[in-house]
Amino acid sequence: MAKEIILYNLADHVTEEEFRDYVANDKGPLIESLPSVKKYTLVKITKSPTGEIPYKYMGIVDITSVDDFLQKDAQLQKYQDFRVKFQTMVSDLQIQFAEDIY
């Protein structure tokens, strides 16, 4: 299965409470409503064996295909509007696409 993996930290001006509210009421429902999305999971990274945590948040989006997501869903106006707001709330944003091998 194809996946979009998003790694990031919160911007300095965003509290964790604000972000959790945003995810529950805006981000989560929007991502899950996209036709190519099969499942959306957001985790907060709390511990690392090395003690270093370069990214505190990781979103994992199971998608039908990278092409479906990028060429269709990512072009929707509601997704574009989401991206504008989301980018003001985060820092150190990294986006990768992957596929299951096991």
User: In angstroms, rounded to a whole number, what is the distance separating the alpha carbons of residues 45 and 53?
Assistant: 7
Specify the CATH number of the domain 2-99.
3.30.70.100
| High-pLDDT (> 90) share of the chain, % | 100
Domain boundaries, the chain: 2-99
pLDDT digits (tens, 9 = 90+) for 63-72: 999 999 999 9
Q: What is the mean pLDDT of the chain?
A: 97
What is the pLDDT at residue 100?
94
What is the pLDDT at residue 10?
98
pLDDT digits (tens, 9 = 90+) for 10-51: 999 999 999 999 999 999 999 999 999 999 999 999 999 999
